[in-house]
Amino acid sequence: MQQRVLGRDGLEVSAIGLGCMGLSFAYGPATDRRDAIGLIRAAHERGVTFFDTAEAYGPGINEELVGEALEPIRDRVVIATKFGFRNGVPSEGLDSRPERIREVAEAALKRLRTDRIDLFYQHRVDPNVPIEEVAGTVKELIQAGKVLHFGLSEASADSIRRAHAVQPVAALQSEYSMWWREPEAEILPLLDELGIGFVPFSPLGRGFLTGKIDANTTFGAGDFRSTLPRFSPEAVKANQAVVDLVRELAQAKGVTPAQTALAWLLAQRPWIVPIPGTTKLERLEENLGAARVELDTADLARIDQALATVEVVGDRYPAATQRLINR
């Protein structure tokens, strides 16, 4: 697996990471613990060194899982986790007060079975706490050796710039894919200017870009996609044009739609590191195969031209959740 660097302080990670959220949160029943640990370790055996979790995934359950899985190989991996929700529960609202950040860090260190957090993200910007205060608190944790790098998630350009002035931001984590290209307008140029890495979550459009979801798909109990406007039957039907395009591109390259979508992301910038999630070993291996797919300038130009003809239908989140983004 090729390596990439996030930020100017040299945080080196595998070109494709593993988003661990879905192993225990948001997509229905949790994966059997033994199977989940096996999948995380299998990812490392196949070259993955970058693993993403958060206090809010459970809360705490996903961190405990990741900690147990990676404890035997802790010094060979990079672990990212997040703070920012009251009691670690998104529905209870935001909480990035300095005392809460320190509390989350201490709890995460225990759950992750480690003495340092490699990358500590603010999960969502809290309008009640100045971003400079958040960055300053993480800076203190870095000085204490409990955190190595600072990150933000779904933050606006203004928040990124203000935070970075206090404590250099190593990475921004936000949604970005062939299905959601908003970061290209303002965020990617800013990250380029400031030397900040980008970690796209949902790089496969929460499974949509794989071509395995259509208007007849029903989501099981506990699968939060059933609450997302973009996954309503009407929106899914309207957005099939995106899937058809990805499938056509994949066939032309002799790869899968998932590999095409991930390879496209990797080709956008050398400091982009997508973190697809999965619960299945065969899907893990398929996703990692994207690192070997080469898209040349002509390929990328054809993709851009084709994507420009497709209008994506539906918001990413319900209105209440949408308000937590780009602050």
Count CA within 13 A, CB hemisphere, residue 187. Answer: 28
Least confident of 10-24, 38-52, 152-166, 208-222: 208-222
Beta strands in the chain (DSSP E): 3-6, 11-14, 18-19, 50-52, 78-83, 117-122, 147-153, 169-175, 197-201
Residue 285 neighbours by CB distance under 10 Å: 13
Q: Is the pLDDT assigned to residue 283 strictly greater than 80?
A: yes
Q: Determine how β-strand 18-19 pairs with β-strand 197-201.
A: unpaired
Protein fold of 3-204+269-293 = TIM Barrel (3.20.20)
Instruction: Please give the Cα distance from 300 to 297 (Å, whole number).
Output: 5
Q: Is the pLDDT assigned to residue 324 strictly greater than 80?
A: no
* Token pair in block for residue 145: 């050796």
Instruction: Please give the Cα distance from 98 to 95 (Å, whole number).
Output: 9
Give the chain's end-to-end CA distance (angstroms, integer): 35
* Each residue's pLDDT tens digit, 234-249: 999 999 999 999 999 9
Q: Is the pLDDT assigned to residue 326 strictly greater than 80?
A: no
121 is catalytic: no
Q: What is the pLDDT of residue 258?
A: 97
Mean pLDDT of 165-192: 97
Q: What is the pLDDT of residue 319?
A: 82
Q: What is the pLDDT of residue 217?
A: 92
Angle at 178 between CA 62 and CA 271, to 5 degrees: 65
The rounded mean pLDDT for the chain is 95
| 129 Cβ contact partners less than 8 Å away, ≥ 6 residues apart | 96, 97, 98
Instruction: Please give the Cα distance from 223 to 214 (Å, whole number).
Output: 16
Instruction: Please give the Cα distance from 41 to 66 (Å, whole number).
Output: 10
Instruction: Please give the Cα distance from 173 to 19 (Å, whole number).
Output: 11
Burial 44-55 (b: 16+ CB within 10 A, else e): bebebbbbbbbb
Catalytic residue among 57, 121, 176, 317: 57
CA 150, 13, 225, 223: dihedral to nearest 10 degrees? -100
Q: Is the pLDDT assigned to residue 306 strictly greater than 90?
A: no
Instruction: Please give the Cα distance from 64 to 140 (Å, whole number).
Output: 25
| 252 Cβ contact partners less than 8 Å away, ≥ 6 residues apart | none
Q: Is the pLDDT assigned to residue 221 strictly greater than 90?
A: no
| 226: alpha, beta or left? (left if phi > 0; alpha if psi -120 to 50) | alpha
Q: Which amino acid belongs to residue 213?
A: I
- Count how many residues are written for the chain: 327
Give the closest residue to 205 by CA, choosing from 319, 316, 282.
Answer: 316
Least confident of 141-145, 283-287, 317-321: 317-321
* Each residue's pLDDT tens digit, 188-220: 999 999 999 999 999 999 999 999 998 899 998
* Token pair in block for residue 228: 């997302």
pTM to 2 decimal places: 0.96
CA distances from 160 to 31, 56, 201, 228, 278 (A): 35, 22, 18, 27, 29
119 φ/ψ angles, rounded to the nearest 5 degrees: -140, 120
Give the closest residue to 239 by CA, choosing from 311, 291, 154.
Answer: 311
